[in-house]
Structures are given as C-alpha cells and as structure tokens.
C-alpha cells in the first residue's frame, strides 16, 4: 500500500532530513507495475530508492518514492566451476557477499562491507580493492518506469565505466532494477594485489578470509554510517591526462597516481583533499572525516544544503591548488522545499 508523507531520514545513510510525498516498498513485479501505472496516470514524479547509501536527499521528495524489496536468491550451476547467482534488488549487498563466501564462491569477496542494496550496485558499478561489479555481472533485469515493460541488459549494454554506467546517463530516473545475475566460481581466485590485503591473509585464504580482511580494512578507514552519518566516498577519484599528471608529479613527487590502459592517470581524491588541509574539518553539523578525507559526514541536525556547501568548498580548494576538478559520487535527489 502506498503511504503518504513518509519520513526518510532513516532511509539514507547520511541521516539527512527528508519527507517523501508518497512511498511504496514493493517485492513483486505485479505490485511494482501497478504503482508505475498509477504514477504515470496521475503524473507523479518517480524516484527509485535502494539502501540509501549513495545519495544525498534534499528535504522534500515529491511524487512517489519506490523502494524495490525483491529478496529472492538462487544459484544455477553452469559447468566448469561457474555458478550464476540470481539476486533480488532488495537484498543487502554485504549479506550477499557473505553468503557467497560461505559457499566458497569466488568473485565478489573484495566488494565486502560496501553499504546498500544489490539493485544499486550496477548504477555505480561498485568497486573496491581491484575488483568491480562489471567483472562478474552477467545480466540486469529491470522495468521501465514509463510503461512497466521488462528488459534484460547484458554487461555490454550496461555501459560500465569507473563508478559509471548507462543507469547514470541515458537510463537515469527511467528504470527500476529488480534483479542481477552474477557469474562467480567455485575455483579459488583471490585478488590480493591491492593495498596490504595479502599481508593480512594466510598463504591460501578462503573466500571468507578475504571478506574478513577487506571488511577489517574498511572499518579501519571508513566510519560506520550507523554511528556517524555518511555516504562513503563523496568524490570520485579524478582521471587526468598523462601530461597533466606529469606536471603535477613534478611539483608533488609523492602524489599517488595510477596509470590507466587508455593513457589517462587516476589520482587519489582523498590525497588531494588532505593536501588542502581539510581532513577533520567541521562546519556546524557537517564535516570531513578525521581519518579519511574522501568521506563527508553528517553529525546530526544538518541539511543537504549544508553538506553540499561543504562539498563545493572542497571542490574549489582542490581546483585552486591542483587544477583538478572533483566530481560528486552520491546522487542528489529531491527538492529544497515543498
């Protein structure tokens, strides 16, 4: 049943105040399609919410906020050690990672402790510790918001890039994801060449060992959103041309940098922000985390406006010092007022 005037302050990991004009959590296709038909017929703006972990909510969300709660999970053996995992969009992502690791299924263990729901994973092409969702995704099942028709996208159709996909561009606010199909393996294939993961693990780690190690690293570096409101990494790591990277390295020899196959160079946004002396900064209700400059936090009692003003200050400081433009990672939803 569609509810009216719903408080969403606990539906986003930043804990920002927001009220939805209408809200519906749906766990079946028929109910979802019916809600979409109502929205189109009554000209309601539609917003699709996941676990609320990668967005900035403004105070008012007009129309209908739809939260997919599909929680189905099944496994399909396809030979040569490969297994297709069919996972509903409403499943908790980290719970899925743990479930696969417990079965010694390899492929997403490096993506542990990433907050949010399964359905949001392809939108951002989530990635961590040398692995991206694109490495394992086979198909995405979705419904078009305009008419409820179902479509199935394969990996290529998703247009994956670094923290990017077609769902942030041509299909932004046009579809609701209902299910993912991931290809994982029973064959051990740990990816431990990122950071100090290998040093934290035995010579032949289990998938659960890797999950535990990655989770420990993340807990050391990132605040728990249930304790301190945050949306994880607030800025993408910027990619610059090789020539610009060389010029920056001539001035900052210790600048972390990662050459890419296309000739560009990825820089560490957290390092750039830290060099501007912003780590640990607090402005009233919002601030920059004391251990990770890439994470903006909400101490409570603040608003999206305060957070976005702080984010713009960070962007301006980094641009002024390094000539590099940072791009916000979380999506912005809603309006400033009713």
Instruction: Name the residues annotated as catalytic.
Output: 163, 233, 329
Identify the CA nearest to 175 among candidates 153, 193, 208, 201: 153
DSSP 238: P
Residue reference for tokens 């972390």: 256
Query: What are the CA-CA distances from residue 183 to residues 78, 84, 116, 154 (Å)?
Result: 9, 5, 20, 12
- For the chain, give the number of residues: 338
The C-alpha atoms of residue 66 and residue 49 are separated, in whole angstroms, by 6
Question: Cβ contacts of residue 254 below 8 Å, gap of 6+?
Answer: none
The C-alpha atoms of residue 4 and residue 24 are separated, in whole angstroms, by 9
| DSSP per-residue string spanning 188-216 | ------STTTGGGS-SS--HHHHHHHHHH
Residue 284 CB-density burial (10 A; 0-12 exposed, 13-18 middle, 19+ buried): exposed
The C-alpha atoms of residue 290 and residue 299 are separated, in whole angstroms, by 13
The C-alpha atoms of residue 154 and residue 270 are separated, in whole angstroms, by 33
Number of Cβ atoms within 10 Å of the Cβ of 90: 21
Axis-axis angle for helices 93-102, 207-221 (nearest 10): 150
């Amino acid at each position: 049943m569609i509810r009216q005037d719903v408080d969403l302050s606990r539906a986003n990991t930043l804990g920002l105040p927001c009220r939805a004009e209408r809200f519906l959590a749906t766990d079946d296709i028929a109910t979802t399609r019916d809600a979409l038909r109502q929205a189109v017929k009554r000209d309601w703006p539609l917003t699709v919410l996941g676990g609320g972990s990668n967005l900035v909510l403004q105070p008012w969300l007009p129309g209908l906020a739809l939260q997919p709660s599909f929680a189905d999970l099944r496994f399909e053996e396809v030979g040569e050690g490969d297994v297709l995992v069919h996972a509903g969009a409403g499943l908790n992502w980290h719970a899925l990672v743990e479930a696969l690791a417990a079965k010694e299924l390899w492929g997403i263990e490096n993506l542990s402790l990433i907050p949010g729901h399964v359905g949001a994973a392809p939108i951002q092409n989530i990635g961590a510790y040398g692995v991206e969702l694109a490495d394992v995704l086979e198909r995405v099942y979705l419904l078009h918001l305009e008419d409820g028709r179902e479509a199935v996208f394969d990996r290529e159709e998703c247009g994956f890039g670094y923290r990017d996909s077609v769902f942030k561009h041509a299909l932004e606010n046009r579809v609701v994801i209902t299910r993912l199909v991931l290809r994982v393996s029973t064959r051990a294939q740990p990816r431990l060449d990122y950071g100090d993961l290998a040093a934290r693990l035995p010579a032949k780690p289990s998938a659960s060992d890797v999950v535990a190690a990655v989770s420990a690293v993340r807990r050391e570096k990132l605040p728990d959103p249930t304790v301190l409101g945050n949306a994880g990494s607030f800025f993408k790591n910027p990619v610059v041309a090789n020539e610009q990277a060389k010029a920056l390295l001539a001035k900052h020899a210790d600048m972390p940098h990662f050459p890419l196959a296309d000739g560009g160079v990825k820089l560490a946004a957290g390092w750039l922000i830290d060099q501007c002396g912003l780590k640990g900064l607090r402005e009233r209700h919002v601030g920059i985390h004391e251990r990770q400059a890439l994470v903006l936090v909400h101490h409570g009692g603040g608003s999206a406006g305060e957070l976005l003003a702080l984010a713009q200050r960070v962007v301006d400081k980094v641009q002024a010092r390094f000539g590099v433009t940072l791009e916000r990672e979380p999506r912005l939803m809603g309006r400033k007022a009713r």
